[in-house]
Every structure is written in structure tokens, then in C-alpha cells.
Amino acid sequence: MPAARIQPTFASGVLGPALWGRIDLARYDSALRKGRNVFVHAHGGVSNRPGLRFVCEVMDSAHRHRLLPFVREADDASILIMGQNEMGFVKNGARLQSGGVDYTIATPWTATQAQALDAVQSVDVIFAAHRQVAPRRIMRNGETDWSIATVPINPTVAAPTISSVTPRNSGDETYRYRVTAVVGGVESFASAPLATTAAELLSIEGAWNDIAFSAVTGATEYRVYRMRNGVPGYIGFTTGTSFRDDNISPDSTVTPPVQASLFDAAGKYPSVVSIYQQRLAFGASDAQPETVWLSRVGDYLNFTRSQNMTSSDRAEFDMAGEQLNRIRAMLQLRELLVFTSAGEFSVSGPDGGFDALNPIVTQHGYIGSATVKPLVADDTVLFVDRSGRGVRDLRYAYESDGYSGNDLAIFASHFLQGRRIVGWAMAKNPWSIIWVVLDNGKLLALTYKREHQVWAWTEMDIDGAVESVACIPEGASDATYLIVRRLIDGQQRRYVERFDDRDFATAADAFFVDCGISYSGSATTTISGLDHLEGREVIALADGDVVTGLTVEGGSVTLPHAAGVVHVGLPFTAEMETLPPAIQFDDVGSARGRPHSVSAVRIQMENTRGVKVVTDDGRASELVQTGGDLADEIPLWTGMHELTVPAQWNRDGTVTLRQDYPLPMTVLAVSVELSIGRN
């Protein structure tokens, strides 16, 4: 029976083997059976992934390293390379140098601790937390001037000293005073109390006490407190170094700060950090795994409380529940979202403003979270569940006044079976892709667009093992950096590599090699600068022509002909395969399980060259393209192209499209002409 099937979109990505029989699923008709080294566009097309440009080797390839993004603003971003008690930097695709050498600073974290480090950024400062190390600030003071310091818990503003308390007239009354200084909006601890023991009663008309105290450098005001029943109550402020108390009634609701004792010993160091409503938030020490601590409002470096606590003071509360809620991650969205080992919580306050006196903790789910920091995609949070192999989104819904979401891994769970997610990052522009690193070094791509109900998984086949990923804005796009562990000349090397922007006008500009470099200049046959691939077999694209069979010797390769634009690196194959067609016939029923024979394939493509259609027995029919002049570069193809394939009967009727060359491939739709047997 002749039949035709057209698949105009692949927006559902790869469908796992457990669902290949679910032809009733709406996603079936827009899904793939296989997607290797390709990613899905939100509009439904599929492209081969860009190549990886070599950036640099890590500081010490004997240790596992981690990438940490630093984004000061859209046009000023860097990648931090965290290793064994040291940190390097990458900016605009190159290792940051100072004085002609790689710029590196010392850190308090070992390579192992760096993998578990939690971090949050505030302009020029990254706050970092690890359960075995006191919390730190990573500070950017200049392009090649970075420093690391312990996060202060108490204000460092010096307290003034009261020199005298002088009453107008002597008497039998005793009055005690304390004074604080305010520098840069931060209030110091109170001075030691000083009293006058022979003062007249202040309620007598015209009575007063004059308080004199020392100046504090940088102070913009001084706050004066009078003791009542052992509690210092606020009576006023002054910009000078003296103050007159003429029977001002102390306000005991406003008291000076009291020194905090937090994060000062092993077992008390927090492991999670975030920012919420102008407060720095820490969570989950070994001794208090359920506890969250928030700094004073507007002062990240101040975890003090007033003697009589107020709403703007440090907050401290627990994620209490039926079982231990060990805090795994925190994230600011509409509220402070807290992800624990046993559930998902939000932290807020009355009328939307957080109040240290009245924190409102609400549990929204009981999934449980892994230690991988959640991601934010617009107004939605994505997190890894407690198993480490499930991915869920979470979004506030006004209708239910709560948070709910979807299981994003259910349709491609085979990618995560027996594995664990150890890191991920989201490149929002231009493709909205979440790059997911697994514990076995595998890299997955999840295209995520919630407003269009698109979440599509594919897998990357990279020579070696991916160990870390980070994304930062560079120009108009988000750049994705990886650390890849490779075997080079018999030795283990760890390289920082960057996905190319996949932005090209002609085939000669296309970059589809891994761990690669580019040459542009006078035509030459010798391409050097390949020491990082010594002894490896590589492939090249030279002025748009594919050159194979090259081996790096002495850090260079020799081309068979001179070329002026050359890309050289490790080859990779991109491949996509459609699912078996689910065609229903009126007389014989479903086509599933019946013999199929594909006779023709029509492919809607965009900026593509060199695609093959592969049959079940491995035979390939190549899409042959030529230019108008044989001396010209072969142009990229946009439009529909028909391929006749060798007829072969099989049980599936699937179509496999493959790109073996370092050339672009974008497939927008596939139409198949086939015959279906009756038995």
C-alpha cells in the first residue's frame, strides 16, 4: 500500500524507548527516535550543534575544575575557572592575562570543595558558601584585580566612647547612656554605658544632661540611647559629638545592635547562599541543616539583631516538616524559594514584604531536591529532584495562589536512567537551551520554552567527558563554556572550550569541529597552534572544502592545498532519526509492525550542506549540491530537496538524516514516500 507521511516539526525532541508504542500521545507526531549532536529549535526545526573552540587548558589537569559565571552587565562578563586552591579567568573567549602570563589568584577551596560550592552574585561581588569553609566574598576590583575575603557577620564600624555625662544641676538621680556611630548607613555596636550618679530629676522643668563622646571616622550621625530597666532606648541622633537629653522619653522598640555569633566554627558554616529582598541569605550548616539566616535589610554584611528585635533585623528560621528538610538550594523569584531534601517551600512576609518578626514559610510540594542549583527561565524555576535524574519546572499560578509544575524528563527518561545530573546552565539567547552535565561526562541539551509548551531533549556525543558547564552573555548571544576531559597523546588533559556562535554567512565560515581552532589570513598549507591536539586525527574545513585524514604532528597539520580560511579540530557526527510512522488504514488498520519500504525522502532545509539519508543496512544517499561555477564555493541550501533512496523492506519505516562533515545542517520538515505491506 502506498503511503506518505510528513513531519513538519520536531518540537518534542527525542522520545524514550518506553514510549515508542504510545502513538496516542500528541507528542508522538512531533518527536524523534534519535537526536545525537543536534538540538531542537523552539519553532520545531533541528540543527546540528556548533563546534567547540579551544580556549585554554585548566590550571592543573590532574584535578577536576569547575566553571562559575560572573556577569557584571550584559557586555561585561567572565568565566571563573575554579581548581585546587586557585582560580583563573576567561573573558571574550580567551584566558585573562596580566603582564603576559595567565592571571590566577589563590582560593580557600580545594578542587573537590569547588564542585559543591554554592554562589550568588551581587554586581561586583560573588558570595560563596561551602559547608567546610567559612563563607567568602569573591570581589572584582578591576579587570585583573580580584580578591577573596571572609564574609563579615558583624559590622566593622568603630563604636564611639562616651567621655562625660554632665547634668544641669546635681541631684540624687542616676542616668545611664550608650551611643552608636553610623557610617555608610551601618550602625556600630553601642559604646560602653556611662552614667551620671548625681543628676537632678529630668522631669523638673529646664533639667537636662549633656552627653559628650568621641568622634568616629566617616560617621554621618550618632545615635543616643538612655537605659531603662537595663534596656537602651533610643532618644535621638546628632551629627556632632555631643547630645542634650532634656527628658526625652526612651523608645525601647529601637535598640542598638547586639553582636552576632554565626558561621564561626566547623559545623556552623552554611552550605547554601542566595539574595532576597535586599538581604543576603545563608542556609544549611551541618549543625542546623534546616535553618535559613537572612542579613539585615540593605546590609549584606550585617547579621546582627537589635536588643529588642525589629522587622528589619537579621532573621533566623527553620524549614520544619514531618521529616528532616535539609536545605539543598535557595533562589529568589517572586518569593524566596527554598528547595530541601523533602520538599519545596516559599518564604515571604505580610503583604509581600519580608518581616524578620513574622516570616511566612509555605510548603508547595514534596518532591525533594538535589544539590544542583536551580535555574530561572523567565518567571519559571527549573530544579533537579532528589534522585538527581529528574527535572521539574515550578511556576507561580495566580489561580491557585501557589506553585506547580511539570516533570520535564518523563518523555526522555532513558537519557537519565542510572545517571545523575551534576551541573547545568541555560543559554537563553538565541535558542533557549539548557545544557545538562551527567556524572558519566555525558552532555544533554534541553530546549525549554514554557510559553509554547516546548521541552525537547537531545544528546551530545563529545570525545572525552564533560565535567562542567557555564553560560554568560557575549555580544548578542549567550556563550556556553565547557570543561572537557580528553585523552591527548596518551595523557589526560582538561580543556576549557566554548560552543561557537553558529553564526555564518557561507560554508567557509562554518565552525563544526571540536576542541578546534581557526586560521584566517594568506593562503597556506600549514596550520599550527594545535599542540593541544598532538597525535590526534583531526578534520578541517579549508575555504569550504572538507579535508580528512589529518594527524597533528609537532602542533600542526599540513593541508593538501593552500587555503585562507581554515577550521581544524576533532570530527563529530550529527544524526537525527524519525519515529516509525503511525498511519491508520481503513481496511487493514494500523501500519505499525507491517513491512515498510521508503522510496523517497523530501527534506525542508535551511542553510544546509552535506546531509545524508541513511537506510537500516547502513547505506547512505548523500544530498549532492554544486555551485553555478565549479571554481566557486558550494553554497548552503535553503528550501525543499528530494532524495531517492535504495528501496529496502523493514519493520520501522524510519528515516535517519546524518551530517558527517564539519558543515551546517538544519532540518525543518521531513516528508517520506513509502510502501506498506499487508503482513
Phi and psi (nearest 5°) for 531? -60, -30
- Chain position carrying cell 561526562: 441
The span from the CA of 15 to the CA of 5, in Å, is 18
Indicate where the chain has its CATH 2.60.120 domain(s): 2-50+574-676
Q: pLDDT class for 5, splitting at 50, 70, 90?
A: confident
The confidence score (pLDDT) of residue 629 equals: 46
Average pLDDT over residues 492-498: 98
Q: What percent of the chain has pLDDT over 70?
A: 93
Lowest mean pLDDT segment, chosen from 375-389, 514-528, 628-642, 665-679: 628-642
Q: pLDDT class for 3, splitting at 50, 70, 90?
A: low
Give the alpha-carbon dihedral of 503, 508, 512, 513, to 10 degrees. Answer: -130
In the predicted structure, residue 20 carries a pLDDT above the cut 70: yes
Question: DSSP secondary-structure letter at 10?
Answer: -
**SS3 category, 617:** coil
Q: pLDDT class for 396, splitting at 50, 70, 90?
A: confident
In the predicted structure, residue 578 carries a pLDDT above the cut 90: yes
**SS3 category, 485:** strand
Q: pLDDT class for 665, splitting at 50, 70, 90?
A: very high
Average pLDDT over residues 67-72: 97
Average pLDDT over residues 119-131: 97
Q: Residue 632's Cα: distance from chain center in Å?
A: 43
Report in angstroms the alpha-carbon separations of 582 from 4, 10, 22, 59, 577: 11, 15, 10, 53, 15
Strand partners, 232: 227
Q: pLDDT: is 525 or 398 the higher one?
A: 525
In the predicted structure, residue 25 carries a pLDDT above the cut 70: yes
In the predicted structure, residue 272 carries a pLDDT above the cut 60: yes
Residues in the chain: 679
Mean pLDDT of the chain: 92
In the predicted structure, residue 294 carries a pLDDT above the cut 60: yes
Average pLDDT over residues 611-627: 71
The span from the CA of 81 to the CA of 59, in Å, is 8
In the predicted structure, residue 398 carries a pLDDT above the cut 60: yes
The confidence score (pLDDT) of residue 466 equals: 98
Q: pLDDT class for 197, splitting at 50, 70, 90?
A: confident
The span from the CA of 329 to the CA of 384, in Å, is 10
CATH number of 2-50+574-676: 2.60.120
Average pLDDT over residues 214-231: 95
Give the tens place of pLDDT for each residue, 315-331.
Answer: 999 998 788 899 999 99
The confidence score (pLDDT) of residue 631 equals: 47
The span from the CA of 175 to the CA of 243, in Å, is 14
The confidence score (pLDDT) of residue 422 equals: 98
Strand partners, 225: 178, 234
